[in-house]
Structure 1
Amino acid sequence: MVRVGILGPLEVRDGDRPVDVAGARLRALLIRLALDPGRPVSVPALAEALWGDEPPTDTANAVQTLVSRLRRAVPGLGVRSSPAGYRLDLDPDDVDAGRFERLTRQGRTALRDGDAATARTTLRDALALWRGPALTEVTDAPYAAAAVARLAELRLTAQEDRIDAELRTGRPELIVAELEELTAAHPLRERLAELHLRTLAAVGRPAEALAAYERIRQRLADELGVDPSPQLRAAHLELLRGEAAPPQQPTAAARRGNLRAALTTFVGRDEDLRRLTGLLAGNRLVTLLGPGGAGKTRLASVAAGRLADGVPGGAWLVELAPITDPADVPRAVLDTLGRRDRTLEPVRQPARDTLGRLVETIAADETLIVLDNCEHVVEAAARLAEELLGRCPGLRVLATSREPLGIVGEALDPVPPLRLPPADATPDDALAYPSVQLLRDRAAAVRAGFAVTGDNVAAVVEICRRLDGLPLAIELAAARLRTLSPQQVAAGLDDRFRLLTGGSRTALPRHRTLRAVVDWSWGLLTDDERRLAERLAVFPASVTADSAAGVAGPAAAALLDALVDKSLLQVVGDGRFRMLETIREYGLERLAAAGATAGARAAHAAYFRELVRTAEPHLRTAGQLPWLRLLEAERENVVGALHYACDASDADTALRIGAGLALPLVIWGDDGGIGGDVLARALALPGPAPAEERAVVLAIRIGAELARGEQGPTPEQIAELTTTLRGGGGDQTSDRGAARTDAVDLRRRHGGRDRGDRPGARAPRPVDRRHVARDARQVQGERRRRRGHAA
Structure 2
Amino acid sequence: MRVGVLGPLLVVDGSGAALTITGGRPRALLASLAVRANQIVTVDELAELVWDGAPPAGATRSIRVYVTRLRQALTPELAERLVTQGPGYVWRADTDLLEFEDLCRRGAEATRNGEWETAADVLARALALWRGTPLVDVPSELLREREVPRLERLRLHAVEDRVEADLQRGGDRQLVPELRELIERHPLRERLHAQLMRALAAAGEQAEALEAYQRARRTLRDELGVEPGPELRALHEQVLAGSVDQRAVPRQLPSDVLNFTGRQHELRTLTTLLDAAAEGAVVISAIDGTAGVGKTALAIHWGRRVADRFPDGQLYVNLRGYDLEQPVSAGDALAGFLRALGLAGAQIPVDTAERAVRYRSLMAGRRMLVVADNAGSVDQVRPLLPGAPGSVLLVTSRDRLAGLVARDGARRVNLDTLSEKESATLLRALIGPRVDAEAAAAAQLADLCARLPLALRVVAELAVSRPKVPLAELAEELADRQRRLDLLDADGDPLTSVRAVFSWSYQQLDEDQARMFRLMGLHPGADADVHAAAALADTTPAAARGLLDALAAAHLVIQVPPDRYGMHDLLRAYAVELATERDEALTRLYDHYLHAAATAMDTVFPAERDNRPSLPKPATGPELADPDVARAWLDSERANFVAVSAHAGVDHASGLATVLFRYLDVGGHGVESLALYRNAARAAGEAGDKTAEAAALISIASAHRRLGRPDEAGTFLRRALDLLQETGDVLGQARVWANLGMIETQYRRRYDVAVEYFTTALPLYRQVGARTMEGFVLNSLGDAEMNRDRYPQAVAYFDQSLAVFRELDYSIGEASVLDGFGELAVRQGDHHTAVGFYERSLALFHAAGDRSGESYSRHGLAKARHGIGDLAAAHADYAAALELFVQTGDRLEEARSLAGLAETAEALGRDDAGERWRAALEIFEELDAPEAARIRARLAEV
- Do the two structures share a fold, i.e. TM-score over 0.5? no
TM-score (norm 2): 0.25
